[in-house]
Amino acid sequence: MKHVISDKFYQLTNKLIPGGVNSPFRSFHEVGGKAIFMKSGLGAIIKDVDDNEYIDYVGAWGPLILGHRPQKIMNALKDITDKVMVTGAPHELEYELAFKLNKIMPSLEKIRFVNSGTESCMSAIRLARGYTKRDYVMMFEGGYHGHLDITLVSENHQSSTGIPDNVKINTVMAKYNDIDSVELLFKKHANKIACVIIEPVAGSMSVIEANHEFLHKLSKICIEQKTILIFDEVLTGFRVALGGSQSLSGVKPDLTCLGKILGGGMPIGAYGGKAQIMDYLMPLGLVYQAGTFSGNPLSMACGKAVLNALSEDGVYEYLEDMTHIFASNLTQFCQSKNYPIHIQRVGSMFSIVFSAKPVLNYADSLMIDTIKFAQFFHYLLDRGIYLPPSAVDAACISKAHKLEHIEKTLEVCYKALSNIYNLSTS
C-alpha cells in the first residue's frame, strides 16, 4: 500500500502543527510510523489521500455509530444549514434534543450542551465542587476524562506537565473495580471529596466493564458521604446501549457527561443530572459555565437525527450481532492456537488485548504486549483494516459494518496473528 501523498502532507503538516496532529491520539506514536491523512468516508469505509480504502474501526474515536455520512444525518445537516449556522441565541432544537435525551436517559433531569467531552467533564466537576463546597475529586487510575488539568494528574498513566502542584493535590486516585480502595480514600479524606468521576465502561486501558456490584456499592458510598457521583459516558453513551451503561447497570448517577455520538458527527458535549444540582449553574446559581458554540443548531440538528435513528427497532441488536460474530470467532481462533489474546467488549466497543490474562484494571493493562499489538496494527493497516493506533483504546463497530466487512477483517486478523506468533516462536 502506497502513502506517497499522505507522507508529503505529514511532512508539511509537521512544520506547522506539533507532531502533525491536532490530537495526539491520531498520531502513530504508540505503534510507530506516520499517521495517515484521510480524505473521505462512506458507510464502513474510510479512504486516504492516496485513494487506499480501509474498513474503519476507529469511527472517529466513537462518534460514527451509523458509519460515515449516513443519509439521515446528511439530510438533517442540509435542512438546518439551509436556514442557519449559529446564532448565539436560544434555538428550538436545543429543547428538542434535551427533551429526547431526557426520555432516553431519565437521570438527566436537566441538561447543558457544550462542545466536547473534555468540556462536559470539566464543567460537571466544577458544578459538583460548587454544589458540595468541597475541593477533592476522586477518579480511577487509567481513567480518561479529556484534557482538563484536574484528571491529568496521575503519576503512572496519561498525565501532563504544566499542571500546578496545588491543582494536583485535589485529585485522589482509586483502583478500578476495587471498592476497598474507594473506601480507604473516603476514610482518609472524610468530608472533603466533592465528586467521584468514573467511566462505567473504561475505554482507554482496554475495554473494561466496571463490575455492576462495584458500581452499586460506589453509588451507596457516594450517597452516604454526600459526594456527587459522575458517570463519564462520553464514550459509552448511546454506544453500549441507547440509554448508556447506566441503563445496563441500573445505577443512577447524580451527573452524567456525554459527547461523541450525541453530535451525530458534529462537535458536542453535554452534562446533566439532578435538577437540584444543575440549578446551581448560572444564571440560576453561582457556578459559571458558558460557550459561544454551546448548543449550536448544527450539532443539535445532527444530534436529534442520530438519536432518532438509534431509537429505531433493531439497531442495538444488529450492533450486538456483528460484534459478537467478530469477537467470538476471533476468540475461538486464538484459543485454538493458544495465542495469549482476549477480546474485551461491551456492545459494539471492543479491544483486542495482547495479554495472557484479561485486563480488569490499570495495573493489568501494563501487561499488554504493545510490541505485538503494533505489529498486528500495521499488518491490518497494510491490508485495508483501520484500527485505533493504540493497544488500549477502544475500537468500534458501526451500523454500516456488514457481515462481509467482519468476515474480511477476521480473515486478515487470522493471517496477522499466525504471522506474528509463528515468527516469534521460530
C-alpha cell, 81: 444549514
Dist. CA 351–CA 39, nearest whole Å: 26
Whichever of 263 and 412 has its CB closer to ligand PMP, that residue is: 263
Q: What is the footprint of ligand PMP within residues 195-234 (CB under 6 A)? A: 199, 203, 232, 234
Has 232 been annotated as catalytic?
yes
Has 379 been annotated as catalytic?
no
C-alpha cell, 26: 491520531
Binding-site size for ligand PMP (CB under 6 A) equals 14
Least distance CB 5 / ligand PMP (angstroms): 27
Least distance CB 203 / ligand PMP (angstroms): 5
Q: Report the phi/psi class of residue 247: left, alpha or beta, with left for phi > 0 and alpha for psi in -120 to 50.
A: alpha
**328-345 burial, b if ≥16 CB within 10 A, otherwise e?**
ebbeebbeeeebebbbbb
Least distance CB 233 / ligand PMP (angstroms): 8
Catalytic, out of 144, 176, 316, 362: 144
Dist. CA 290–CA 48, nearest whole Å: 37
Has 260 been annotated as catalytic?
yes
Dist. CA 271–CA 280, nearest whole Å: 13
Whichever of 124 and 305 has its CB closer to ligand PMP, that residue is: 124
Q: What is the footprint of ligand PMP within residues 6-65 (CB under 6 A)? A: 61
Catalytic, out of 56, 232, 254, 364: 232
Q: What is the footprint of ligand PMP within residues 92-151 (CB under 6 A)? A: 116-118, 121, 144-146
Whichever of 243 and 384 has its CB closer to ligand PMP, that residue is: 243
CA-wise closest residue to 24 among 122, 146, 139, 125: 146
Least distance CB 29 / ligand PMP (angstroms): 16
Least distance CB 353 / ligand PMP (angstroms): 17
Q: What is the footprint of ligand PMP within residues 256-295 (CB under 6 A)? A: 259
- Residues 57-76: x where in contact with ligand PMP by CB under 6 A, - otherwise, as a string: ----x---------------
Catalytic, out of 131, 175, 260, 271: 260
The DSSP code for 295 is T
Pairing status of strand 349-353 against strand 395-396: antiparallel
**308 burial via Cβ count (<10 Å: 0-12, 13-18, 19+):** middle
Determine the 3-state secondary structure of 192 from DSSP: coil
Return the active site residues: 144, 232, 260
Name the residues that contact ligand PMP, by CB under 6 A: 61, 116-118, 121, 144-146, 199, 203, 232, 234-235, 259
